[in-house]
Amino acid sequence: MKTASARIAANKRQDFIKEYGVVPISELHRFFIKKKGVLMTKEEVLKKYFGYDSFRAGQETLVNSILSGRDTLGIMPTGAGKSLCYQIPALLMPGITLVISPLISLMKDQVTALNQAGIHAAYLNSSLTQGQYQTALRNLIQGRYKIVYVAPERLLTESFLWAASQIEISMVSVDEAHCISQWGQDFRPSYLKIPDFVEQLQVRPVVSAFTATATAEVREDIAAILGLQDPVTLVTGFDRKNLRFSVKQPADKMAATLAYIMEHPDECGIIYCLTRKTVEEVHNALVGRGFSATRYHAGLSDEERRENQEDFIFDRKEIMVATNAFGMGIDKSNVRYVIHYNMPKNMESYYQEAGRAGRDGLPSECVLFYSGQDVVTNQFFIDRMEAAEGMDEETAALVQERERERLKKMTFYCFTNECLRAYILRYFGEYGDNYCGNCSNCLTQFEEKDVSETARNLIGCVKTARRSYGMTLIVDTVHGSKNSRLLQVGMDQNPYYGTCEEEPIYRLRQILNHLLVEGYLFLTDDKYPVLELTEKSEEILNGSTLLMKTAKEQPKKIKEKKPKKRLLAEEGEVDYDLFEKLRGLRMELAKKDRVPPYLVFTDKTLTQMCQLRPKSKEEMLMVSGVGENKFRKYGEAFLALLNEERQD
């Protein structure tokens, strides 16, 4: 068996050389990567190409797993550094690595970054003309690329299958792998082509998959549908310590947004809205007031979307106002804040979107502006959800039900008085202590209030109602409202009618939410969710005390100080003037090379330059993010600037 396959391999090699006049990539690879008789180590690749000194949590395990030939599934939060987990093995393995990725923008970004690092990579997708596509395929066959990004739709086309049969494929790596699962929030039917493609290859390569979605269903789907063989699975901590979370319920969201932006001048941020209309409103308000903002939603032409995205990525515009259509795979590292102008539909979306802040590890903020209308809008979207391609009615109904359940958990997030970080992590299956000291709940002063009486009235009202009703009706009843629906169903005759006249509606809602979070009442998953008693309900009716933490009303601070820039460095001061100068130089170089500034150097790299003030090539290479290739391109320019500064 072995000799036969060896013979086939030898013949294949001969055919290959005859047809293309070049040796297969595996041999070229050995030539390139060999250094004094030994292959480069993964640490050397990390330093030389990417300019980093050490692996982050989880990266090393995943790299080792792939290099040992095992299928691998990596689940890490956005910004954790999943790309390196397949890019480094790709450089160390003999053949070519194919990376499947869902979006054109994402591929382009990744390939540009690799080229910047001095690595031969390309992408194959519908943004190429027929001619460019053919050229790229030819280069692929000739072994010019080590890493090739492919759109899933291309995999089973005749031309690509043929090309794939001509090359040695060491690994197929699936990025954003949750797209293969119908339980995920970005199901893409074209991802289902991946297992078919892998099956058609003569030699099965290592298959690796990466995602930031950690729920159990999605994880199982990925392994099963992709046909991972006994995979090494690694889930790293989901905590992003540099992000500060907060939830606010401003009476005027627009005013709150403007105030926030004014307090954070010169910082890049994303504002997510639920609908196109809201994007337009917020965008207009910002632009009208002279802020440097752009927008992104599905109603714009491809052309305009691309332009706006680039304006943001290239730092030509500071603020991006967008729907959730914006962002998958956006690797802009210096986003300092993400504001959710509306509550998104579930925690997965929230954490993924919020997680686009602070990818460089510097302190950043994630602010959510909640209002009751957000729940209504999301419910409307769920009701109108269309079944995805190839989904039967039953499955579609199930998916809808799950969406409602997820929306509920998202809503609870906005009302919880616990540590927000703890709530998020628990949602993703991580348990920790309940105090992070870096979220709006941990940071505001709490006061614990005895809400037993109101709780008793609410539960009593649910218990004595003739049938089950939704939250609004119950709140209205105890509040003693006179709306027509309430009168129509006779709730004004309920013994608890008007028992909480004094409490404002929002307080009643908060307390009701607290009862749900604590399990004293239950909200069904139906299209029109209704409240029901639980086994704990009686405790309250029998006189137990219920405490609820609420934020103390903060006396309004009058801001006199000019807004201060965020301290960029995690430790130690940073000279902002110098930082701005380095930033200016980065912009200049980026323009010249037509790449986004963060692909020249990230904010974090510039910050370190400010602190270390390297004087020589050796010192410069010690700055995190400066690899040899980057140094060759940009190192001298930065050294010269730093030198000038020293002389002043």
Binding residues (CB under 6 A) for ligand ADP: these are 52, 55-56, 59, 76, 78-84, 331, 333, 359, 602, 624
Nearest to 271 by CA among 213, 326, 311, 190: 326
Give the nearer residue to ligand ADP in terms of CB position, either 210 or 427.
Answer: 210
The residue among 208, 153, 211 whose CA lies nearest residue 179 is 211
167 and 175 in contact (C-beta within 8 Å)? Answer: no
537 contact choice in ligand ADP, Mg ion, none (CB below 5 to 8 Å, kind-dependent) = none
Is the alpha carbon torsion for 174, 297, 319, 424 positive or negative? negative
Instruction: Quickly tell me which residue has 């339980």 as its tokens.
Output: 183
Decide if 478 contacts 457 (C-beta within 8 A): yes
Residue closer to ligand ADP by CB (options 82, 297) is 82
Nearer to ligand ADP, 71 or 109 (CB): 109
Strand (E) or helix (H) holding 234: strand 232-235
List Cβ neighbours of 399 (8 Å cut-off, separation of 6 or more): 182, 183, 385, 387, 388, 391
| Binding partner selected for residue 56 from ligand ADP, Mg ion, none, CB under the kind-specific 5 to 8 Å limit | ligand ADP
- What proportions of the chain, in percent to the nearest 5, are helix, strand and coil? 50, 15, 40
Query: Which of residues 83 and 608 has its CB atom nearest to Mg ion in the complex?
Result: 83
Of 49 and 520, which CB lies nearer to ligand ADP in the complex structure?
49
Q: Which does 359 bind (CB under 5 to 8 A by kind): ligand ADP, Mg ion, none?
A: ligand ADP
| Min CB(440)–ligand ADP separation in Å | 25
**How far is residue 346 from each of residues 246, 350, 505, measured CA to CA in Å?**
16, 6, 25
Placement of tokens 């040992």 in the chain: 68
**Cβ 175 to Mg ion, closest distance in Å?**
6
Residue 84 contacts which entry, ligand ADP, Mg ion, none (Cβ below 5-8 A, type-dependent): ligand ADP
Q: Nearest approach, Cβ of 423 to ligand ADP (angstroms)?
A: 22
Task: Name the CA radius of gyration of the chain, rounded.
Answer: 28
Q: Which one of Mg ion, ligand ADP, none interacts with residue 52, CB within 5 to 8 A by kind?
A: ligand ADP
Out of ligand ADP, Mg ion, none, what residue 81 binds, judged by CB under 5 to 8 A for its kind, is ligand ADP
CA separation, residue 194 to residues 100, 153, 178 (Å): 8, 9, 13
76 makes contact, choosing from Mg ion, ligand ADP, none, with CB < 5 to 8 Å by partner type, with ligand ADP
51's CB contacts (< 8 A; 6+ apart) are 117, 605, 621, 623, 624, 625, 626, 627, 628, 630, 631
Cα–Cα distance for residue pair 159/130, rounded to 1 Å: 12
Minimum distance from residue 313 beta carbon to ligand ADP (Å): 13
Partner whose binding site includes residue 205, from Mg ion, ligand ADP, none (CB under 5 to 8 Å by kind):
none
Which of helix, strand or coil describes residue 500? coil
Nearer CB in complex with Mg ion: 42/82: 82
Binding partner at 89 among Mg ion, ligand ADP, none, C-beta below 5 to 8 Å by kind: none
CA distances from 425 to 28, 240, 241, 293, 428 (A): 46, 10, 12, 32, 5
- What is the footprint of Mg ion within residues 4-43 (CB under 5 A)? none
Q: 310 and 251 in contact (C-beta within 8 Å)?
A: no
Find which of ligand ADP, Mg ion, none residue 143 binds, CB within 5 to 8 Å per kind: none
**Nearer residue to ligand ADP within complex by CB, 344 or 358:** 358
Give me the least distance between CB of 115 and Mg ion, in Å please: 17
Q: Cβ distance 180 to 87 under 8 Å?
A: no
Fill in the per-residue mask, 96 to 135: x = in contact with Mg ion (CB under 5 A), - = not in contact: ----------------------------------------
DSSP 179-192: GG-TTSTT--GGGG
The DSSP 8-state label assigned to residue 349 in this structure reads H
Please state, in angstroms and rounded to a whole number, the distance separating the CA atoms of residues 450 and 605.
50
Which of 211, 417 has the CB closer to ligand ADP? 211
Q: From the CB of 140, what's the least distance to ligand ADP, in Å?
A: 23
- Tell me whether residue 46 or residue 473 sits nearer to ligand ADP (CB atom): 46
Please report how close the Cβ of residue 606 comes to ligand ADP at its closest, in angstroms. 13
Q: Which residue is nearest to ligand ADP (CB)?
A: 81
| Whole-number Å distance between alpha carbons of 148 and 31 | 20
Q: Nearest approach, Cβ of 107 to Mg ion (angstroms)?
A: 11
Using CB under 5 A as the criterion, what x/- string covers residues 76-95 for binding Mg ion?
Answer: ------x-------------
What does the alpha-carbon distance between residue 275 and residue 272 come to, in Å, rounded to a whole number?
Answer: 9
Least distance (Å) from ligand ADP to the CB of residue 181? 18
**Nearest residue to Mg ion, scored by beta-carbon proximity:** 82
Q: How far is the CB of 75 from Mg ion (least distance, A)?
A: 12
465 binds, among ligand ADP, Mg ion, none (CB under 5 to 8 A by kind): none
86 binds, among Mg ion, ligand ADP, none (CB under 5 to 8 A by kind): none
Place of tokens 């082509």: 193
Residue 590 in tokens: 């980026």
As measured in angstroms, the least distance from the Cβ of 317 to ligand ADP is: 20
Number of residues that bind Mg ion (CB under 5 A): 1
Q: What's the per-residue H, E or C state across 83-127?
A: HHHHHHHHHHCCCEEEEECCCHHHHHHHHHHHHHCCCCEEEECCC
Beta strands of 351-457 (E only): which ranges? 364-369, 446-450
Between 156 and 235, CB nearer to ligand ADP: 235
Residue with tokens 């007031």: 289
Q: Judged by CB, which is closer to ligand ADP: 242, or 400?
A: 242
**Residue 487 Cβ vs Mg ion, minimum distance, rounded to whole Å:** 55
Rounded distance, CA 428 to CA 239, Å? Answer: 10
Cβ at position 41, least distance to ligand ADP in Å:
15
Query: Nearest-CA neighbor of 80 among 428, 439, 576, 586?
Result: 428
Name the residue nearer to Mg ion (CB basis): 74 or 195. 74
Q: Which two tokens stand for residue 376?
A: 């209504």
Residue closer to Mg ion, measured from CB, 328 or 459 = 328
Per partner kind, with CB cut-offs from 5 to 8 A, the member of Mg ion, ligand ADP, none near residue 333 is: ligand ADP
Quote the least distance from Cβ 540 to Mg ion, whole Å: 47
Kindly tell me which of 95 and 361 has the beta carbon lying closer to ligand ADP.
361
Binding characters for Mg ion, 38-77, by CB under 5 A (x = yes): ----------------------------------------
CA pair distance 273, 296, nearest whole angstrom? 10
Distance of closest approach, residue 82 Cβ to Mg ion, in angstroms = 5
Nearer to ligand ADP, 65 or 477 (CB): 65
Chain residues binding Mg ion by CB under 5 A are: 82
